[in-house]
Every structure is written in structure tokens, then in C-alpha cells.
Amino acid sequence: MSATTNYSMAAGWRLPNVWDLVAFVCVIGALVGVSHVAAGTLTRIDAPGATQITLDPMNLPAYAVRTTLRMFAALAASLLFTFTYGTAAAKSRRAALVLVPVLDVLQSVPILGFLTFTVVFFMNLFPGQVLGLELAAIFAIFTSQAWNMAFSMYQSLKTVPADLYEASISFHLTSWQRFWKLEVPFATPGLVWNTMMSMSGGWFFVVASEAVAVGDNTWKLPGIGSYVALALEEKDIVAVGWAILAMLVVILAYDQLLFRPLVAWSAKFRFETTAGATASDPWMLRLMRRTRLLQFIGERVGDMAAYIGGLRLSFTGRVRSMTSPEPSKAVDAAWIAILLALVSIAAWRVVLFASRAISWADVGEAVGLGLITLLRVVVLMILASLIWVPIGVWLGLRPVWARRAQPIAQFLAAFPANLLFPPFVLFIVYFHLSPDVWLTPLMVLGTQWYILFNVVAGAAAFPGDLKEAAANFRIGGFLWWRKVIIPGIFPYYVTGAITASGGSWNAAIVAEVASWGDTKLQAHGLGAYIADATDKGDMARVVLGVVVMSTFVVLFNRLLWRPMYAYAQRRLTLG
């Protein structure tokens, strides 16, 4: 054996092979394509073709890359938000008094509401540049991705089993080590599935996010969303078909190249003492393991991450033991008083702004329309739970079938409601049906998938030893659902239900107004109210609609989902 060979083996280095060449060519080709398309963001708004959309299908590949880049840029921001905001809410009880209600409000604010108030800010950062519009669109996509990921992280950190926390104390782990060696691995399976849901959620609102309006000016950024909007305006059903095909190709591509390997990797973080059911590694993961250069780089990156996670840093002090005294109630009272004062000031400012243009009759109208939308949300939540909880459990307990259904679920979850406008509008008009009833199914597109993805994540993370114990005791039928699997997936279901509730309110803005060419149908509801006010540029009524919608969502979460959340937390951490 030569000295070179000995040195290579000792250093963990293996000479590149043909798979390394293939991977290198693919990576360089992707970077060149991304750089070429991304260069369009550095042009001026008034430059030829900068914000012009055509229905030529030859432009769809470039539009698809632009939209996908926005998705992943927003996803990176969402992950950063999740690891900071979600962690802070879970770690500090007093911070949670602020952060969790704010998160409830943020997930209830529709994308149109965010765009209305943030576009000018981003455009002022880069005056006259397309980049300002791109940042506004990315932020809008971020608002459709971040909340369910933050809720997933919060739920996981709050439901880490108490015995694992006590074990971390026994091993004298610092807060930094405990976070990276215990809490993040415990949260990883649910976070991966919610990341997939976030990508699909971004697609669902892609039409709204790529249309940026300031005053009388509206710019449509090159992308699949703008392509769909133009196709609907011109009643070009062939172009709609091309857009669906482009979406399918993009979703299948990032599912195979990114999310399928991530799901397989996250399976090793399941909390169990016996081996559970597993599926074979996806082809992309096997290919990466054959590429010696990438494998070597990955191992070095993993070693670096392990070193950083093992540093004896501590930012939050020692973990609180189960027998530690309760925090000061006087400090809690002062903290809550400060919060109430700040909320009161903010509410008073909103009232002053809106009172100049609206009356109490307008408030009553908005509340009445909110009750109509609330009825739709409740009905759809019940139906979605009855349908998708059993399916999610079945898929989560069968990794092979979960892998097969994964791209289908991602595509269906990403399917924008706008693409269903043609058949729905034609069907309702032809049979003279009521839009109040028959536009309601469009809202379920923004509701059911949060429940499905979270239940699949919960069932996939369900400990294998508990399943074996239930089988040994011959627990089956309804008793198995009531005593075994429902308690096991309950925290995940509540997380999905909270985000599904907020998602369905957002979907109401898209679903309660449907158009196909010159034909426009509108159902009675708060979503249609906000969409109509946005189209007219009526800022006072946009603010009123957003405030009413946020109030409904926060009350719904406070009165229903939060008590269920607390119950799930007590069952898992103390039971």
C-alpha cells in the first residue's frame, strides 16, 4: 500500500469516482442556471421585460426557477424565525405570554394584509429596483410558511418527556448542549414535515404573493403565480394546464432531491427504545453516499456541527427541575400589566386610524361576515379531522407508504385555489347555485393539509416500543385509538389544527371570491370583505377586516386549542 493511499485513508479521504463527476456537473449547472435567472432581480422596474408576463410556455422554466428561488429564500428566513422565535416562546414562560398570542395574530393576518403594509418599506430599501419587489414577495411567502414551523418547534420543545430532561441534568449538559443534543433532535421529525407543508403553503398563495401593488400601480413579478393570474384573466385554459404541469415538475424535483432524503434522515431521531418500521433509503440519499467527495465534505460538516453543538455554552441558566419553586407571581403580574398597557396603546392607535373612515355599522358588518366565515372554518375543520386523522395515522405507521404518498400530498397541498376557479365558476353559473355554499370547498385546500402532515409526523414519531406493548396486550379497535394512538399523536394534531385554523381563514380571502375572465362570483364572508377592500384601496376597511379576523382567530385559539395544547403537554411531560 502506497504512502498516498495510507494518507488518504487516515484522513478519511477517498478519491473521487464517476458519481462525483455527475454530482459536480449537476451542482455547477444548477448554480449557473440560478445565477442567470437571479440576475433579473438586479434590474430596474421600468426595464423592458422586468415585470412583464407572457403566456408563452417556453418562459415557464425561467418563471418556475424564479418562483422556487423565492420559496427557498422565504424558507431559509422561516427556519431562522423558527429556531429563534419558537425556541424563545418555549423556553421562557414570561416571553410566551407575549410571543404566543403574537404568533396567533400573525398567522391570522392574511397575505394581502402583510403586502398592503410592507410593500412600501421594501421598495424604499431599493428604490426603482426589482429587488425591492422581490423582497416584498419573499416576505409575503414567508408569512405563509413561518407560523406552522414555529408552532411545531414550540410544541416539540414543550412536550419533551420529563425523564429526558432529568437525564440531561444527570449528564450535566449546559443549556446550549441540551438544545442541540436533546431538544432539536426531538423536534426534527415534526419540523421536517412542517417544512414540507410550508413549501406547499407558499405555493397555495403564490398568485397573491407575486402581484405587488402600490396605489394605482401593480407589478407582476415573473413567476408561476403571475403566469396563472394572467391565464385566468385571459381565460386561457391551455396556459392553466401548462402552469399545473410546471408546478408538478418543480414539486417532484425538490421532493426527490431534498425532502425525501430529509424525511429518511429525520427518522433516526424517533424517540423509542426498540427498532420501529423503516423504509429503504431514497435513491438520492444512496447516490450522495456513493459520491466520495460529497460524502467526505458531509462528514466534515457533520463533525463541525457536532463540535459546535457540544460546546459548553449556557445562555438560559440551568434547566428547571420538576421540584423547582414556581416563579414569582408579583413579577408575572407586573409583566402582564406592561403587556396590557402596550396592547391598549396599539389598539387605541388602530381605532384612531380606522375611526376616520368607518362607523359602528361597518364594524357590525365585519363582525357579522366574520361569523359566517367562522361557521365555514368550523365545519371544514371537523370534516378535515374526520377524514385525514385516520389517513395520517395509517401513513405515519407505514413509512413505505408515507414515502409513496409524500409527493402526491405535497402537490395537492400546493395546488392554488385559483387554478380551480374555472370549473367552479362554470359549474356554479351553469346550475345557478349559491356561491355561499359552493365556493366553500375551495377553503378546505388551505385547511386539511396542515392536519394531515402533522398527524403523519406524529404517527411516524410514535415510539415503536409502545406499539409493541399495545400489540402484546392485544389492544385493538376503538380502544387502541382512544388509549394508544390518539394520546400519542395529540400534540401533533393540535399543532396542525391551530395552523389549519389560521390557514383556512387566510384561504377564505382566495376562496370567497372566484373569477374566470369577466365572470366574478363572491360569497358572503370576511375573506371576501378584505379582498374587496384591498382591490378598492380602502385601507381603513382592510385594517378593520384584518383586526376582526385576528380577533376571531385569537379567541378561537385561546378558548379551544390552547386548553387542548396544555392538556397534551401535561399528558406527555408528566404522564
CATH at 482: 1.10.3720.10
Say if CB 369 and CB 529 are below 8 A apart: yes
**21 compared with 546, residue with greater pLDDT:** 546
pLDDT score at 550:
82
Chain centroid offset of residue 124 CA: 28
pLDDT score at 327:
56
Burial class (CB in 10 A: 0-12, 13-18, 19+), 172: exposed
C-alpha cell at 477: 379497535
* Cα distances (angstroms) measured from residue 283 to each of 11, 174, 287, 510: 27, 38, 6, 38
Say if CB 494 and CB 564 are below 8 A apart: yes
Q: Is residue 306 part of a domain?
A: no
Q: State pLDDT tens for residues 523-556.
A: 889 888 888 887 777 778 888 888 888 888 888 8
* Cα distances (angstroms) measured from residue 250 to each of 133, 257, 345, 494: 23, 11, 46, 30
H/E stretch holding 514: strand 513-516
Q: Is residue 303 part of a domain?
A: no
Euclidean distance between CA atoms 168 and 151, whole angstroms: 24
Range of the domain at 554: 44-270+358-574
C-alpha cell at 66: 424564479
Mean pLDDT of 434-445: 82
Q: Is residue 316 part of a domain?
A: no
Mean pLDDT of 411-430: 77
Q: Is residue 512 part of a domain?
A: yes
Supply angle C-alpha 383, 385, 391, rounded to 5. Answer: 110
Q: State pLDDT tens for residues 80-122.
A: 999 999 898 888 877 787 788 788 777 777 776 677 667 778 8
> Shortest CA distance to 458 belongs to which of 400, 404, 500, 396?
396
Beta bridge partners of 522: 513
Number of domains in the chain: 1
pLDDT score at 324:
46
Say if CB 388 and CB 451 are below 8 A apart: yes
Euclidean distance between CA atoms 530 and 536, whole angstroms: 10
Q: Per mean pLDDT, which range of 136-150, 227-241, 321-335, 512-526 is the poorest? A: 321-335
- Provide DSSP, 366-407: HHHHHHHHHHHHHHHHHHHHHHHHHHHHHHHT-HHHHHHHHH
Q: What are phi and psi of 222, to 5 degrees?
A: -55, 125
Q: With a cut of 60, say whether residue 162 has pLDDT above it.
A: yes
pLDDT score at 330:
67
Band of residue 19 on the pLDDT scale cut at 50, 70, 90? low
Q: Is residue 263 part of a domain?
A: yes
User: Residue 312: how many CB atoms within 10 A of its CB?
Assistant: 9
Say if CB 440 and CB 376 are below 8 A apart: yes
Q: Is residue 476 part of a domain?
A: yes
pLDDT score at 350:
67
Say whether 45 sits in a helix, a strand or coil: coil
Q: Is residue 276 part of a domain?
A: no
pLDDT score at 230:
87
Q: Please compute Rg for the chain using Cα positions.
A: 25
H/E stretch holding 219: strand 217-220
Q: Is residue 153 part of a domain?
A: yes
The 8-class DSSP code of residue 559 comes to: I
